[in-house]
Amino acid sequence: MDRIDKFLSTSTEETVQTGRTSKTGGKKNLNKRKTTSVPVADIVEESNGKKKRIFANPESNKAISVSAKTTKKTKTANKNKEAIEFLLNAKDEVEKTHKRAGVSKSGLKVIFLGGVGEIGKNITALEYGDDILLIDCGLAFPGEDMPGVDLVIPDFTYLKENASKVKGIVITHGHEDHIGSLPYLLKDLKVPVYGSKLTLTLLDNKLREHKITGIKQNVVKPRNQIKLGCFSVEFVKVNHSIAGAFALSITTPAGIVFHTGDFKIDYTPIDGEKIDLPRIAEIGEKGVTLLMCESTNVERPGYTMSEKSVGEKLEKIFIEHATRRLFVATFSSNIYRIQQIIDLAIKYDRKVAVVGRSMINNIDAGMKIGEFKFDKDVFVDIEKIASLEDKNVIVLSTGSQGEPTSALSRLSSGEFSRVEIGENDTVIFSSTPIPGNENMVNKVINNLYKKGAIVIHDNVHTSGHACQEELKTIHSLIRPKYFIPVHGEYRHLKEHCLLAESLGMDKYNMIIPEIGTVVEITKNAMVKRGTVPAGEQLVDGLGIGDVGSVVLRDRKLLSEDGLVIVVIGVSSITGELTTDPYMITRGFVYNTEADELTEEAKQILLDTLATIDLKEDHEWNELRNQIRKPLRNFFYKKTKRNPMILPIIFRV
């Protein structure tokens, strides 16, 4: 469309200069021609054999020359005019098609780079013209199908390609699935970041750890408004399992976009600050074009329990286990939970020992900005708890998700040298396993039981996400024209659309996006507009994005069926073997079985090598494959396993 406009503009300029069209832009009747009487001429043959018309009147000779040029110009002008009319018609057709689809050159693009069709890795971009606003930038943790991978972050290709358009990043709250990928993005994009005091304190720790400087961090408070390019953003207070959580009301040229972030409606919050429902209702009265609402707990009926109710359950456990040493595992970012646990420790005269790097860092961050309200004297070093009575100790630990390297996992397996779990210990899991982590959590619980501890892992937690009735409240207050569910797997997004439909929302005004989906919104329509490069990048140690599907496949193969290394020495002169082939197995068969199996495998190998002329120069990959194939068949026949076979061939 832009190319058509450019061509038409250029063509119009050219025709005005040459006089081929009216300067007023009026159209000529191409069928109307001016007739002129031509005088009689004599035909004269020139010396070169060519014939020429000669008029008696010399002025006529000049006129015919001008007339020929004029005719040529007219034909060219007619062709240009026809081309322009064709392009004008084409442009009209394109505009009509766009109008029918509701697409406009000035539409708002909502670009989903993560957080849809999955739990975690939340990141959404709003683009209008030459301005991009980024909402959150989180990570996800690797599943069991990603051995050796540390973190999963979004693919930032589109943002890097459009770096000049990115005006800033607004953060809803400080959980890892919303801020965890920021250090990896901010290495390349030096743009301002906006969030609550706690959110930016947690982010600052990450940036210092990654040695990233020069990022402008701007603290905002509830109902503050900021301007980023063509976007105006208001931060709205909501309740969540971490302090400083916001919803976002974003005014765009296409209308208001309301993004809930992660939230729940808590009428008895620990900090006394309730969700700002009156302001949300006011925004709804203005008229909201698009609502993007989280979907994590959409399958749960009713309301999410208040955080205060967890404190009541914890206090009951403190009383019932008054003579025992207590261990509590919870999310290190759950500031309200940590506050309640430490308040109970003070009330029941227990010293608090903290283990786990993230727990220590988050408590330090909370104390630095005044989010925690207790004295430092309540803490004791983990190495000194042996000198205290069990009834006067509580250990606050990470590892509520059974992470293998966490403090609680090492405690359960006896690998934590400074503390030993015993029969007078009670371990409390103040959390719920994230889907996919159940097996790891169960393993830790079993190990704790084996050590004689009492383990409490049911009903000592409440979610930070809204259930069905709370979601209905937000929909009823906002009453959006269009709706896109976010923050959930596909089934969550689908259920959320059904919930919205039950409240009277038109199903044709809802879209379930996928990662990479671009949705364009105008005042008349909401349509899908293709995709952008998106997906995931795997972080493994210092490597980012260098672990792909092939590497993961090899790792899984090694973890499942093991490795067989085949070492072959060949004479570069005669092509004969310099020594017998040598085989090393790892993770494939037990040592007692390996000797007999490898001897048989060596014979298979020798038979194979006898059919190959090793004196000739071979393409190495082809030669390795010739060696692998018979060995792979042999090993599978004998063991029903497919170990990775790694031939090493060297010439002497």
Neighbours of 148 (CB within 10 A): 15
Neighbours of 64 (CB within 10 A): 14
Both tokens of 131, joined, read: 């301005």
d(CA 120, CA 489): 10
d(CA 555, CA 65): 83
Predicted confidence at residue 574, as pLDDT, reads 73
Three-state secondary-structure class, residue 569 = strand
> Which of 106-110, 175-179, 440-444, 628-632 is predicted with the least confidence, judged by mean pLDDT?
628-632
pTM more than 0.75: no
Contact between residue 253 and residue 230 where contact means Cβ atoms under 8 Å apart: yes
pLDDT at position 640 over 70: yes
Predicted confidence at residue 28, as pLDDT, reads 41
Each residue's pLDDT tens digit, 222-262? 999 999 999 999 999 999 999 999 999 999 999 999 999 99
Contact between residue 366 and residue 372 where contact means Cβ atoms under 8 Å apart: yes
d(CA 546, CA 549): 10
CA nearest neighbour of 168 among 145, 144, 189:
189
Predicted confidence at residue 126, as pLDDT, reads 98
Size of the chain, expressed as the number of residues it contains: 652
Both tokens of 183, joined, read: 């250090």
Each residue's pLDDT tens digit, 379-411? 999 999 999 999 999 999 998 888 877 889 999
d(CA 357, CA 338): 15
pLDDT at position 307 over 80: yes
Query: pLDDT class for 344, splitting at 50, 70, 90?
Result: very high
Q: What is the mean pLDDT of residues 123-141?
A: 95
Query: pLDDT class for 53, splitting at 50, 70, 90?
Result: low
Higher pLDDT, residue 359 or 581 = 359
Q: DSSP for 216-282?
A: -EEE--TT-EEEETTEEEEEEE-B-SSSS-EEEEEEETTEEEEE--S-B--SS-TTS----HHHHHH
Predicted confidence at residue 132, as pLDDT, reads 97
pLDDT at position 330 over 90: yes
Q: What letter would DSSP give residue 523?
A: S
Higher pLDDT, residue 320 or 553 = 320
Predicted confidence at residue 99, as pLDDT, reads 46
Domains of the chain: 2-101 (no CATH), 108-302+464-534 (3.60.15.10), 307-456 (3.40.50.10710), 547-651 (3.10.20.580)
Q: What letter would DSSP give residue 537?
A: E
Neighbours of 154 (CB within 10 A): 25
pLDDT at position 95 over 60: no
Contact between residue 318 and residue 326 where contact means Cβ atoms under 8 Å apart: yes
Query: pLDDT class for 71, splitting at 50, 70, 90?
Result: low
DSSP H stretches of helix in 369-489: 407-412, 438-450, 468-478
Query: pLDDT class for 550, splitting at 50, 70, 90?
Result: low
Each residue's pLDDT tens digit, 451-471? 999 999 988 999 999 999 999
Main-chain dihedrals φ then ψ at residue 34, nearest 5 degrees:
-90, 125
Element (H, E) at 361: helix 357-368
Both tokens of 211, joined, read: 């040695």
* Beta bridge pairs of residue 647: 566
What average pLDDT does the chain have? 83
E-only strand ranges, 403-507? 425-429, 454-456, 482-486
Each residue's pLDDT tens digit, 167-210? 999 999 999 999 999 999 999 999 999 999 999 999 999 999 88
Q: DSSP for 187-199?
A: TT----EEE-HHH
Q: Are strands 482-486 and 288-294 parallel, antiparallel or unpaired?
A: parallel
Contact between residue 267 and residue 274 where contact means Cβ atoms under 8 Å apart: yes
Locate tokens 């007219």: which residue? 74
pLDDT at position 82 over 80: no
* Beta bridge pairs of residue 128: 131
* Residue 36 CB contacts under 8 Å (≥ 6 apart), including other chains: 67
pLDDT at position 429 over 90: yes
Locate tokens 């790891």: which residue? 440
Q: What is the mean pLDDT of residues 519-526?
A: 91
CA atoms within 13 A on the CB side of 389: 6
Each residue's pLDDT tens digit, 292-302? 999 999 999 99
Predicted confidence at residue 38, as pLDDT, reads 47
Predicted confidence at residue 618, as pLDDT, reads 65
Predicted confidence at residue 11, as pLDDT, reads 47
pLDDT at position 544 over 70: no
